[in-house]
Amino acid sequence: MNIQENISLKNYNTFGIDVKARFFVEITGLVQLQKVLELKAYPKKFIISGGSNMLLTKDIDALVVHIKLKGISIVEENENFVEVKAMAGENWHDLVMWSLEQGFGGLENLSLIPGNVGTAPIQNIGAYGVELKDVLVSCAAMDVKTGELEGFDNEACEFGYRESIFKNEAKDKYIITSVVLKLTKKDHVLHTGYGSIENELKEKGIVHPTIRDISDAVIAIRRSKLPDPKEIGNSGSFFKNPVISQKAFDRFTKKNPNAPFYEMDDNQFKIPAGWLVEQCGFKGKRFGDAGVHEKQALVLVNHGSATGKEILDLSKKIQDEVQKTFKIKIQPEVNIIK
């Protein structure tokens, strides 16, 4: 086991924040992970995987455990379905591309989401009408106290919009080590209802799309408005889209008749936070190296050497302004490490 000291985490978080890990170790096997968790000399541990959904605001005075568990395998199949097990350290988009190469359907709408497999259940990643919860059978997670592996089936994960048990009761108690996903081998269920996918397919003259066509459309849409973390540091949507009651919605639409919204079950309405942030004049704005993306106001970016604190301060400024202007609270989707 190679425990390193004072390692920069700049290349381990997609925001590209340059903070240091007091200690750092890479994990490629489950037994190795159990051994690391048992190390009494390093009582504080901090788990990092794809680093795509966190904002680091200070040095991490702990043993940073970088999960590099790899492997994709088929665990069960019949003529219609296949169950695929993917280890936590696999890159999410690589898994999506692998599934398409095999002709398996279910992940195409989730193309190009940054991050690793093990982080996907924590915030129930979702895009273009599909969420991880729609395909996840179960995940395995290691109890950080006992080193024992536990299984969580779909229901036990308590998924919600950008939510799961791993962000709530089970927060910091488990390390997700693998997931099992149920994918289709034929009669794929296509989700093309999301407006921009329909337009993209229409523009290309595609009437009967394949799962690959949908993936290509999603990739084209994402590339056109979301910044590539390899080019400019970011963590995707920084805020969740706020969900408001019928009463609050009535008040809101009266004042803002042209605002976009999604109607949800039980008389609730989701308002796109990106629209709210744009209306407050933040789109494309820059404060030092911390900024708001020019094509999608929901995404905060690091133009180079912003600190986590600068990004956090900007996010608070935005929250305050949205609250003042619309009387709506927007909350970060990103995990803020203070």
- 92 in contact with ligand EPU (CB under 6 A): no
Tell me the three state secondary structure of residue 80.
Answer: coil
Report which of 143, 134, 218, 212 is spatially closest to residue 174, judged by C-alpha positions. 143
Asked if 291 interacts with ligand EPU (CB under 6 A), we say no
Positions 100 through 159 that interact with ligand EPU (CB under 6 A): 127-128
Structure tokens at 283: 């789109």
CA atoms within 13 Å, Cβ hemisphere of 324: 8
Q: Which is nearer to ligand EPU, 174 or 275 (CB)?
A: 275
Instruction: Please say whether the beta carbons of 63 and 36 come within 8 A.
Output: yes
Distance (Å, whole) CA 68 – CA 28: 5
Nearer to ligand EPU, 85 or 283 (CB): 283
Active-site hit among 49, 111, 237, 315 = 237
Continuous segment of H or E residues that includes residue 94: helix 92-102
Radius of gyration (Cα) for the chain, nearest Å? Answer: 20
Q: Which stretch binds ligand EPU (CB under 6 A): 19-27, 135-143, 232-240, 324-332?
A: 232-240
Beta-bridged to residue 101, according to DSSP, are none
Catalytic residue (choose from 90, 131, 310, 333): 333
Tokens 């704005």 belong to residue? 285
Q: What are phi and psi of 148, to 5 degrees?
A: -85, 145
Our finding on whether 240 is near ligand EPU (CB under 6 A) is yes
Give DSSP secondary structure letters for 35-67.
HHHH-TT---EEEESS--SEEE-S-EEEEEEEE
Nearest residue to ligand EPU on Cβ basis: 236
- Give the nearer residue to ligand EPU in terms of CB position, either 23 or 238: 238
* Among the residue ranges 8-16, 41-49, 176-184, 296-304, the one whose residues contact ligand EPU (CB under 6 A): 296-304
Nearer to ligand EPU (CB atom), residue 24 or residue 159: 159
Q: For the CB of residue 263, give the shortest distance to ligand EPU in the complex, in Å.
A: 14
Structure tokens at 286: 């820059």
Q: Which residues contact 61 (CB under 8 A, 6 or more apart)?
A: 22, 44
The answer to whether residue 333 is catalytic is yes
Least distance from ligand EPU to the Cβ atom of residue 44, Å: 29
Supply the minimum distance, in Å, between the C-beta of residue 325 and ligand EPU. Answer: 14
Residues contacting 186, CB < 8 A, separation 6+: 79, 80
H or E element that contains 320 = helix 308-326
Active site residue 164: no
Given candidates 12, 24, 166, 275, which one binds ligand EPU under the rule CB under 6 A? 275
Stretch that binds ligand EPU, among 18-26, 86-94, 145-153, 291-299 (CB under 6 A): 291-299
Q: Give the shortest CB-3-to-ligand EPU separation in angstroms.
A: 32
Binding footprint of ligand EPU, residue count (CB under 6 A) = 17
Residue ranges that bind ligand EPU, judged by CB under 6 A: 127-128, 226, 236-237, 240-241, 260, 272, 274-275, 278, 283, 296-298, 333
Active centre residues (catalytic): 162, 237, 333
